[in-house]
Amino acid sequence: MTDPRNFEHDVIFTIDLGTGGPKVALVSLSGAVIDHVHRRVEMKTLPGGGAIEDPNEWWSAIVESAREIAARGRVDPSRIVAVACTGQWGSTVPVDAAGEACGDCMLWLDQRGGDLAARQLGGRLAVDGYRPRLVLEWIRRSGGAPSPEGNDPLGHRLWIRENEPDVYARTAVFLEPVDYLNLRLTGRPTATQASMILSWLTDNRRLDCTDYDQKLVAYSGTDPDRLPRLVPINSVVGTVMASVAASLGIPADLPVVSGLPDLHTAALGSGAVADHHAHLVIGTSAWVGCHSPGKQTSLANQMATVPSALPGRYILANNHDAGGVSMEWLRDMVVAPDDDLGRGSPSLADIDEVAARVGPGAGGVMFAPWLNGQRSPVADTSMRASFLNIGADSGRPEMARAVLEGVAHQMRWILDRSEKVLDHELTDIHILGGGAQSDIWCQIHADVLGRSLRRVESPLLANVRGAAMFAGLVTGRLRVDDLAGLAPIDRTFEPDLTTTSLFADRHQEFLRLTKSQRRMYRRLNSAGRRRSVR
């Protein structure tokens, strides 16, 4: 029987709000990205571990990008059938009663609430930063717990309450970035069990619940009146307001589906949607995820399965804070603009070319990619990045290659721990994200992991594709069985056995670094910040 659905015709207007700024795209339900624009929004860092962005800059960038796309006219607006937002999560936007951001967004990197979070969650008898009875109850109900390091919404809300009382007094609701975007589109401040997951305030033994667990809310010290109303994960939360539609150049009254964290849309956009079929993302941060049939948690490894976008399923969540950031740091802070790469700031592709000048192992140089501390599989905000084993003959090629290899070693560590937590091998690994545009980085990951990696087509745009797929599911235009066929693979990277053997030995050295360096970093970074709880 012929399928009457027209995947090529129907188009989703998508927004992917990454830490580096929003991407706006038009994506057909066939998975094709018809047009897109990315505008940078710069993160600001503050003393004491602060990391913020201005939500109004996000919206200005989105409007400008949408107008640019509309002016090119590659899609008849009548083909647009829905709007979907995805992006960073674990960040906090304070919003006033008029629906305006009344303060900066505290990003998932922001650690300033560490002392307050440790006080809220711990005490004299704390184990790994938690009161035992409290954390056991938290894990039993939600499958995870807020971090005593302060780098999540609990720490953010406590910080604003204690240090920005004027902002707190004006705050009617605290929103995740994707839910803030949906508020700007529809005028409705809602959230879901998925978008609020890093607040750990829902009983995740029940999928698609629409109420907060009052005991967990009390444990967190959160004012329940400042939490957004929960709706089911697979929801239409409202329609695009006429004034907003006019500014974006899209039809009014389009349905807006619930916002999803990029963890969820990456899984959908990767096409690896079967249980334990994995996706590996090298974005600003980096992670390994997969769908799973049940709820599992390892607080020690900072990973858990959380409610997914697919009915009746969970998805594995973990994170390394400095994936693509490591390469940007190398380019912007180490590689001088007047070297042999030419005049001006080099591109990341230029860095790849330099790294390719030296073979696997980077001439013995190693890099520990902990620019912002560690999160998974070990939580320790006092840790920092380092180059090791640099000799008189070590230069930019060795350092560039060592950064690429260091991030890959961190991802192997996360992958190995993920399989232990799930008690299941992760297979059919699809690689995506901006870093996956680099052939050499994909090959290094294959060699370090000792696994075949399948790169999805247009890996930088996998999240907007996933957001469009989600909108197709919510509006009934797609079925779950359609998804695997809507993410074509452009290349498979096979591990080189000789190189994999070399990296197996080096990986053991990499794993020893945390244990050998931890006390030093605690001493070095204790001034002006809370000591790590681990």
Q: Is the pLDDT of residue 275 over 70?
A: yes
Give the Cα separation of 254 and 492 in Å (integer): 38
The count of other CB atoms within 10 Å of the CB of residue 364 is 14
The confidence score (pLDDT) of residue 410 equals 97
Give the pLDDT score at 321: 84
Q: Using N-to-C axis directions, what is the helix angle for 497-524 and 396-422, rounded to 10°?
A: 90
Cβ atoms of residues 308 and 290 within 8 Å? no
Mean pLDDT of 463-491: 96
Give me the mean pLDDT over the 402-416 stretch: 97
C-alpha span between 144 and 297 (Å, rounded)? 6
What is the mean predicted confidence (pLDDT) over 269-280? 97
Residues 421-448: tens digit of each pLDDT? 999 999 999 999 999 999 999 999 999 9
DSSP conformation letters of 129-175: TB-HHHHHHHHHHHSS---TTS-SHHHHHHHHHHH-HHHHHH-SEEE
Q: Enumerate the domain spans of the chain.
A: 11-258
Q: Which of 66, 23, 67 is nearest to 41 (CA)?
A: 23
The 10 Å Cβ neighbour count of residue 174 is 26
Confidence of residue 530 (pLDDT cuts 50, 70, 90): very low
Amino acid in position 18: G
CA distance 281 to 288: 6
CATH 3.30.420.40 fits 11-258, yes or no: yes
CA–CA dist 62, 177 (Å, integer): 13
Question: In sequence order, what are the residues at sequence separation of 6 or more whose Cβ sits closer than 8 angstroms to the Cβ of residue 528?
Answer: 47, 48
Q: Is the peptide bond before 148 cis (omega within 30 degrees of 0)?
A: no
- 525: pLDDT strictly greater than 90: no
pLDDT tens figures, 89-111: 999 999 999 999 999 999 999 99
Tell which phi-psi region holds residue 107, choosing left (phi > 0), alpha (psi between -120 and 50) or beta: beta
Q: Sorting pLDDT into bands at 50, 70 and 90, what band is 155?
A: very high
Is residue 128 over pLDDT 50? Answer: yes
Cα gap 34→428, rounded to integer Å: 27
Residue 5: which pLDDT band, with cuts at 50, 70 and 90?
A: low
Q: What's the pLDDT tens digit per position in 283-334?
A: 988 999 999 999 998 888 889 999 999 999 999 999 998 898 899 888 888 8
Residue that is written with structure tokens 């994909």 in the block: 442
Identify the residue with better confidence: 35 or 135. 35
CA dist., res. 415 & res. 377, Å (int): 9
Mean pLDDT of 411-420: 97
11: amino acid identity, one letter? V
Query: Any idea which residue has 């995947």 for tokens?
Result: 7
Average pLDDT along the chain: 93
Identify any residues that bridge with 489 across adjacent strands, giving them in sequence order.
456
* pLDDT reading at 528 higher than 50: no
Most confident of 108-122, 173-187, 375-389: 173-187
Alpha-carbon torsion angle 437, 438, 444, 448, nearest 10? -30
